[in-house]
A and B are shown apart, each in its own frame.
Chain A
Amino acid sequence: MPKSKLGIIGSGRLGTAIARQSSKAGYEVRIANSRGPESLGLMLSVLLPGVIAGTVGGVIEQSDIIVLAIPLNQYKTLKPELFAAKVVIDAMNYWPPTEGAIKEFMNEEVTSSEYIQHYLKGAHVVKTLNHIAYNELEEHNLPAGDPKRRAMVLAGDDKEAKTVVSELIDAIGFDPVDLGELKNGKKFQPDTSLFNARYVANDL
Chain B
Amino acid sequence: MKTVLILGANSGMARALARLTASPAVQLILAGRNTKEMEKTAADLEVRGHGPKPFIMAFDAQATETHEKFWSQVLAKVKVVDEVYLFFGQMHPQAEAQKDFHLAEEMLVTNYVGAVSILERVAATMEERKQGLIVGVSSVAGDRGRRSNYLYGSSKAGLSAFLSGLRSRLVPAGVHVLTVKPGFVDTPMTAGMKKGLLFAKPETIARGILKAVKAKKDVVYLPFFWRWIMLVIIHIPEGMFKKTRL
Query: Is B truly associated with A?
Result: no
Q: Which residues of A pack against B, CB within 8 Å? A: none
